With several copies, the nearest count.
Chain A
Amino acid sequence: MTLESTTEVALSASHVSKSFGVGADRVEVIEDLHLDIRTGDVTCLVGPSGVGKTTLLRLLGGLATPTSGTVSLGDKVITEPVEQVAVVFQDYRGSLLPWMKVAQNVAFPLEGRKVPKAERLRRAQDALEVVGLGDSADKYPWQLSGGMQQRVAIARALAYEAPIMLMDEPFGSLDAQTRFELEDLVLRLRNDLGITIVVVTHDIDEAVYLGDRVVVLGGRPSRIVDDVEVPLGRERNQLTSRATPTFIELRTRVLEEIQQHGLTQQVTGA
């Protein structure tokens, strides 16, 4: 897999607020949030359920516009999805087009980029092999298990070969083994191709293992409660890295922060 261009890119959100609804129904989800995504980093977003991770990711991807503040790619303010960004949606089922077979689904975004058909299909097949679905190219999404569908969504983003990838709980439905392999795939994407990756995850071990940096969201409206650099180096190993003291220390730290903003918090707050 090669990238067409690995130009210097950096996503940044500055003074971003986002609310839904109007009048009495208005909910402030994100308030005055500032975040710079560094080029070539894996940035992990964690935080309790409902805190606004997906919302933030959609803002970064240009899929939603902030109520106030701006999101920019380099010097360009983003109000629309841009070519340099591929997205894996949390709602992977809903994001697969049911009338297309798996391979077509994966190849579809390339069609919009005018990639020739043979090339499209080759890239789709490659991406499917990488996620372990080489033999399911010819099935419809509903014929696949949940985890397989999720991998199709990942394959689609891979085949798109964008320099920035936004992934919303991409491994949520995968078994440990598959998950490990795809986590390592993400690291390889960063190391070998210099892709900038933002991963939303609820698995703190995963966040620390993958991330060069873990951003913890919390509060209502949400803001960044912690921004943790992960000094584990660029080469990581599922067994050894996870056993280092730094790893354990960081995961405990993040865990504690999330616990402060977790379920119990919400219930008592209600």
Chain B
Amino acid sequence: MTWTQTIRSSAAASQRRGATPGIMLWRVGVFVAGIALWAVIAASGVVPAGLVPAPSSVVVTLAQQVVTVEYWQAVGLTVWGALIGLLAAAVVGIAVGVITGASTAAELSTRFLVDFGRAFPAVALIAVLVLILGRGLELKSTLVFVAVVFPILLQTQQGVRRVPSSVIETARAFRTPRALLVRKVMLPSATPSILTGLRLGASVGILVAIATEVLSGSPGIGNQITDAQMGANSALSFAYIVTAGFLGFAVNIGLEKLQSVLLRWRPAMGGEN
């Protein structure tokens, strides 16, 4: 098959909803290959066993963990912290993004704060922040918020800025009121960009929640990982690491579903066929 044919047929494939059996098969193939590679690395001894456990032992450990209350508590605490931060960031980020996207004056006025804030390494200040916020949910969700709000804000802002001028002109010609303009024109047009921000943010949120736990000792997945590492129990720490991966996977599945609903209107790439 030539390149263009591939593109065309894959565009046709993506027009159909969900994964086709072929895609599923490929996915399984990649999965098996990945696990096999891992097993080989673990078995070959290239990396000390203490650092990379065999996949089998991780699976066993994970299976043992999932039946414990402790595991679900840890997962729950991490997810909760990440979720609060993420939701707050989504609300603030999208709102401020729309405002600064739609108004040059607002964007210029906040530009310094946004660019400064984006680069502000809040995680590095954990020791200081604990003094102010303690080690509870506040700390976790604050740090998640700070890390996630700016990507969402920027993705929204730039998405709004790039609404095609022909579309804006149409809205103007029909004197579309501001609220309606935002709701029915700017937001839908910026949706792909915003969703990308949310997908970035979802993973970053979980990562920051875990990092906060590792660094501050507040309970959650991160803390479990530290414990496991201090106990040189790599299978256990991998079990939790894998858990984090699954969380990201799950959140993104959700966002993808959302995306397929919100972007229903888009023709498949490469032209309809």
Residues of A in contact with B (beta carbons under 8 Å apart): 20, 22, 61, 63-65, 79-83, 85-87, 89, 91, 94-101, 108-109, 111-112, 140, 142-143, 156, 160
A residues in contact with B191, CB < 8 Å: 99
Q: Given A112-B176, A112-B177, is A89 in contact with B169 using a C-beta cutoff of 8 Å?
A: yes
Contact A112 B175 (CB under 8 A): yes
**Chain A residue with the shortest CB-CB distance to B266:** A98
**Is B173 on the interface with A (CB-CB < 8 A)?**
yes
In Å, the complex CA distance between A65 and B2 comes to 15
Contact A108 B174 (CB under 8 A): yes
Closest 3 CB pairs of A and B: A94-B166, A109-B174, A99-B188
**Is B273 on the interface with A (CB-CB < 8 A)?**
yes
Q: Given A97-B167, A142-B272, is A87 in contact with B184 using a C-beta cutoff of 8 Å?
A: no
In terms of DSSP, what is the predominant structure of the interface of chain A? loop
Q: Given A63-B271, A80-B2, is A99 in contact with B189 using a C-beta cutoff of 8 Å?
A: yes
A residues in contact with B273, CB < 8 Å: 64-65
**Is B180 on the interface with A (CB-CB < 8 A)?**
yes
B residues in contact with A111, CB < 8 Å: 180, 184
A-B contact pairs, 8 of them (CB 8 A): A20-B272, A65-B273, A81-B174, A94-B167, A97-B170, A97-B185, A97-B188, A112-B177
Contact B16 A22 (CB under 8 A): yes
**Chain A residue with the shortest CB-CB distance to B174:** A109
In Å, the complex CA distance between A81 and B8 comes to 12
Known contacts A89-B166, A99-B266, A112-B176; 14 further A-B pairs (Cβ under 8 A): A63-B169, A63-B172, A79-B5, A80-B2, A83-B175, A86-B173, A89-B170, A89-B173, A94-B164, A94-B166, A97-B167, A101-B265, A142-B267, A142-B272
Q: Given A79-B5, A100-B265, A112-B180, is A95 in contact with B188 using a C-beta cutoff of 8 Å?
A: no
B residues in contact with A156, CB < 8 Å: 174
Contact B170 A95 (CB under 8 A): yes
Interface size band for B: 20 to 34
B residues in contact with A81, CB < 8 Å: 172-175
Contact A63 B164 (CB under 8 A): no
Contact B174 A140 (CB under 8 A): no
In Å, the complex CA distance between A158 and B189 comes to 25
A151 to chain B, nearest CB (A): 16
**Chain B residue with the shortest CB-CB distance to A85:** B173
Which parts of B247-273 form the interface with A (CB within 8 Å)? 265-267, 271-273
**Is B68 on the interface with A (CB-CB < 8 A)?**
no
In Å, the complex CA distance between A85 and B2 comes to 19
**Chain A residue with the shortest CB-CB distance to B267:** A142
Which parts of B185-207 form the interface with A (CB within 8 Å)? 185, 188-189, 191
B163 to chain A, nearest CB (A): 10
A residues in contact with B173, CB < 8 Å: 61, 63, 81, 85-87, 89
**Is B4 on the interface with A (CB-CB < 8 A)?**
yes
Contact B175 A91 (CB under 8 A): no
A87 to chain B, nearest CB (A): 4
B82 to chain A, nearest CB (A): 30
Q: Given A98-B265, A99-B188, A108-B184, is A80 in contact with B176 using a C-beta cutoff of 8 Å?
A: no
B residues in contact with A143, CB < 8 Å: 272
A-contact 0/1 string along B1-43, CB 8 Å cutoff = 0101100100000001000000000000000000000000000
In Å, the complex CA distance between A156 and B173 comes to 12
In Å, the complex CA distance between A108 and B177 comes to 11
B residues in contact with A63, CB < 8 Å: 169, 172-173, 271
